[in-house]
Amino acid sequence: MSNNSVDQFQNERRELNELVLQFAGKHIKRFYALDNQVYQPGALPALTKELLGLVASLVLRCDDCVKYHLTQCHQLRLSDAELEEALSVGLIVGGSIVIPHLRRAIKFWEELQHQGAL
């Protein structure tokens, strides 16, 4: 098993979600299902929805959510230029308090890019 932060994040997220779902009643399970469904393609393409989730997560300063949406965007083949514009929106909306999260987001994106090149 690799020790890079992308693998660590994905493995921990999977393990913790499995634990939550073992514990979960119908309300938690319904929320998880709704969360999955809202990002499916519809009037807006899946990539647009993931970008909306990414910007909201950046503004809310949720690093786990930012990493999740970055991973989804990477799988949907987001370009570096598209990412830069989306992160710019998040920075403008959230202000300078977003900068530490922006730094971590760009580092994680670089790791995703490197992992994809292997």
| Ramachandran angles phi, psi of 42, nearest 5° | -155, -130
CA 17, 80, 84, 51 dihedral sign is negative
pTM listed for this prediction: 0.90
Q: Which two tokens stand for residue 22?
A: 């073992």
pLDDT for 65-86, tens place per residue?
Answer: 999 999 999 999 999 999 999 9
What's the burial of 16, exposed, middle or buried (CB within 10 Å: 0-12/13-18/19+)? Answer: exposed
pLDDT of 3? 54
Task: Report yes or no: 51 and 78 within 8 Å, Cβ to Cβ.
Answer: yes
